[in-house]
Structure 1
Amino acid sequence: MIAKISATENLGGALGYNFRKVEKGEASILLAAELYQSKEGRYTMEEVFADMEALIPKKCRTKKTVFHCSLNPHPDEKLSDELLAQIAKGYMEALGYGKQPYIVFKHNDIAREHIHIVSLRINGEGKKINDKFEKRRSKKITDTLERKYNLIPSSKIADKVMNETPKIDTTRGNIKEQVANIVRMVLKHYRFCSLGELNAILSAYNLTVEEVKTEFRGKKYDGLVYVPTADKSNKVSTPIHASDIGRGVGYTAILNRIQKSKKTVKPLIPTIRNKVLQTMRTSPKTEEELRQRLEEQSLRVFIRKNESGRIYGITFIDDKQGVALNGSRLGKGYAANIFNGYFSNPTDNPFLDEMLYGSPSVHLDQSATVHPSQLNTEESDNLVDELIEDIADGSFLPTGNDDWKEAAWQRKLRKQSKVKLRQRKH
């Protein structure tokens, strides 16, 4: 069961969304707590809104006073209304909302039945309900509920959604809807730290994302467009602007996702790095052989080449963990130019060098990260390859200057200016 929590200050919007579903016959009310019920046993939008609004102080320090959550069982689960109500009640009590007013709706407008819960983030005294580590606590609660009621684990929900999400097919029409479904699924289930890593994930669905810069009335704006592609990454359709898809897929949302991912991917790096190392020590002779052997380790690889065939980017994807990591993020010894050198001469395998990568007998989790000075490559070559990979990944955009030192200098200036801006705000 997957829980998706949001906070808002729009009580009417959260209630209105669910009550409109009820009016259309696309939802029903399963449960309500601490709310007025008419003599007929009914709950109306007006009465529920009035009850909740009366509990919000006029001068409230908490801006986003509304709690809105959806609980999503596995699509193959067929749960009774009574069981869904028990799950909702148990979830709210464990999360600290057991004494709060809340209302539970069951949505049946799509094949996957799920429930929505609307409540308040402040108690009767105007104090905020504890929301520290809310999402982490929520995950532990849903795991406990899965075991208690013998539900299909949430990890299998993600697997089912990912496996059933088809590639872009321009002959089917509704391209914007296809793009929206893919992007939202990817953003929900994957972590990435650059646009390049995001594109490595999207490539499996014949889709790519590009950054665009525009200027309007003297102001510069950054944006994103999503472009359907063929199997060989050739563009086959008109780019679709993120704003045409809807909220949560635009420039700011992607940047926020990148920042959050940078904090959460670190514990996964050693395991993925060791899988790559173990695979490379089998000395695959071709890129296709590398792909096949990585698949045995439950990893996918996305390789980017320039027109001359040089590898300038490599990304490893773990679909089960929901993460994409560039080679250079695993360590200097896993950067794109190392793989380019290897496939240029597979008989010279640097990954077999125990001085550089550690002994094969060492436990996998202790695999060392290689320092650039240890490699049989000039430091300047490494720096150029890192820069090329950064450009490919969207860590910064090319400025029109082919001089890599100039581009690196401009990147340094941008970082410095951001620090100054933050200092001014404080």
Structure 2
Amino acid sequence: MVAVINSGRSLHNIFNYNENKVKAGVAKFILASNYPMDTEELTLAHKLNRLLNQAKLNENVKRNSIHISLNFAVGENISENNLKAIASEYMETIGFGEQPFLVYQHNDASHPHIHIITTKIQADGSRIDTQNIGKNRSEPARKAIEKKYNLVEAEKQKKQENPLKPMDLIGEGATKLETKNAIAKVLNAVLDTYNYTSIPELNAVLKNYHIVADRGTEQSRVYQKNGLYYRLLDKQGNKICTPIKASLFQQNPGLKFLEKQFTQNEKFRNAYRTLLKSRIDDLLKSNTIQSIHELKERLEKENIQLICRINPDGIIYGLTYIDHQNKYVFNGSKLGKSYSAKAVQERFESMPLRQLSRSKEEVLSGGKIHLEPLVSSPDYFKNTFVEVLLQAENYYDPLPFQLKKTRRKKRRKKQNTRL
């Protein structure tokens, strides 16, 4: 059993998330604990207001909501009664046994799982301390429940989990709800797992799943209002299906959320930046690699994905490196000037520029594109590779630097005309 605990600012959001699943027929409300009425008698208002009223007892606590998911291994058949018992025992062990909480059984994934909603504000207005709750309380609770109910252990379950595959996620004729659920699965797997510091770096990973974070054009209303959409892409990278506002997802992964992630992620990048540069340098110094295509293949063997951004004329103008083993994404310019597209291509001076500027398919995949990335698997590059073309952080401009300079106009000194 794998337990995931998230705190948040809005009980409304996590409540609506689960109730919308029920409305869509992919979840079932199975338990209300510490409510004055039986589970079957509760209305939507009863469920939510009990939590809201308790949270109001201490309005100084901003992050007052708790959303927990208990995930079981694929193939485990757990009865509804056992799910209720597991939820109650888990909440008791982590210190939330006296809190009002709601339990939902979800059926929208290959593995069985339940979601639990509660608040950290107690009946006397005090706050339950959730610092290190995962290590100090959740882990002991999880292990005890696994043993009592003979469940697959979390460590073994993680090894058995099937990674997301874009071909399994959705089709072009999907409804808006199906599109949203498919994108949500990928966002949950990527946003808190990979280290990225810009939208193009995030999109480098998301596009492996045919998903893109889209701000629109600079003239669009979405861009000017600092909005963000998530969209599905087809095999050619074209946008398909209805775009979904970031605010409609549980995490609300909009621009404000991402900017916080960028700042936080930047603090932990230096050590991995140095490590990645060292691995690239070792390959470039070997003298056995004579093209970007060969460099790409060698990096694949080390679980590093090299993405070449190509303009309409077939010229490579940007590189992005994704270390899938350590979950770090770097635009070439952020690694350093010597790792940019221009600098790397200059290392292969013996190779004609025309050969470096072959078609996208030839340069990126040798003529064959596969569409089943296994992001969490160390064997990611053995059988799969996806062409990912990102928008440039610095657009390609063929005009030489010298011609961009403008002459400064000299000021004419005023002559003293006074006598």
TM-score, normalised with respect to structure 1: 0.62
Distance 1:346 1:132, change over 3 A: farther
Greater RCO between the two (CA within 8 Å, min separation 6)? 2
Q: After superposition, where does 1:81-92 map in structure 2 within 5 Å?
A: 81=80, 84-85=83-84, 87-89=86-88, 91-92=90-91
Provide, for residues 208-251 of structure 1, a one-character-per-residue CA deviation record: whole Å limited to 9, x for no partner.
Answer: 444333477xx942334556656565x4x568544399343543
Q: Distance in 1 between matches of 2:69 and 2:329?
A: 27
Partner of 1:160: 162
2:296 corresponds in structure 1 to 291
CA distance in 2 between partners of 1:221 and 1:228 (Å) = 22
Aligned to 2:262: 258
Amino acid at match of 1:14: F
1:260 CA displacement = 3.9
TM-score, length of structure 2 as denominator length:
0.63
Say whether residues 1:151 and 2:156 are aligned partners: no
Equivalent residues in 2 for 1:224-303, closer than 5 Å: 224=228, 233=237, 235=238, 237=239, 241-243=243-245, 246-247=248-249, 248-263=252-267, 265=269, 268-282=272-286, 283-303=288-308
1:187 aligned residue: 187
Which of 339, 346, 351 pairs up with 1:341?
346
Aligned mates of 1:90, 1:331 — CA distance in 2: 52
User: Which position in structure 1 is the counterpart of 2:317?
Assistant: 312
The percent identity for this pair of structures is 21
The corresponding residue for 2:115 is 116
Question: Given that residues 30 and 104 in structure 1 are in contact (C-alpha distance below 8 angstroms), is that contact kept between their aligned partners in structure 2?
Answer: yes
Q: Which moved further from structure 2: 173-182 or 325-334?
A: 173-182
Indicate yes or no: 2:28 matched with 1:27.
yes
- In the alignment, the residues of structure 2 paired with residue 203 and residue 168 of structure 1 have an alpha-carbon distance, to the nearest angstrom, of 13
Residues 1:329 and 2:334 aligned together: yes
SS in 2 for 1:223: coil
- Looking at structure 2, the residues matched to 293 and 277 of structure 1 have their Cα atoms a distance apart, in angstroms, of 12
Correspondence for 1:106 = 105
**Against the structure 1 CA distance between its residues 168 and 26, is the aligned structure 2 distance closer, same or farther, given a 3 Å change threshold?**
closer
SS in structure 1 at match of 2:392: helix
Deviations 1:320-349 (A, max 9, x none): 5444222343445433333222234479xx
Aligned pairs for 1:380-419 (under 5 A) are 392-393=392-393
Offset at residue 8 of structure 1 (A): 4.0
CA offset at residue 132 of structure 1? 3.6
What is the aligned counterpart of 1:196 among 172, 190, 200? Answer: 200
Is the contact between residue 225 and residue 239 of structure 1 (CA under 8 Å) also seen in structure 2? no
Instruction: Verify the 8 A CA contact 1:299 1:317 in the aligned structure 2.
Output: yes
* Shift in CA distance, 107/224, structure 1 to aligned 2, threshold 3 Å: closer
For 1:166-212, what per-residue CA distance to the aligned partner results, in whole angstroms no more than 9, with x for missing partners?
28987x42386676456434432233211221232233344544433
Bigger helix fraction: 1
Residues 147, 306 of structure 1: CA spacing in aligned structure 2 closer, same or farther, 3 A cutoff? farther
Give CA deviations for 1:128-154 in whole Å, capped at 9, x if unaligned.
222346678788679857976433546
8 Å CA contact retained: 2:90, 2:145: no
Unaligned 5+ segments in structure 2 are 353-389, 405-419
For this pair of structures, how many residues does the alignment match? 349
Give, in angstroms, the shift of residue 126 of structure 1: 0.8
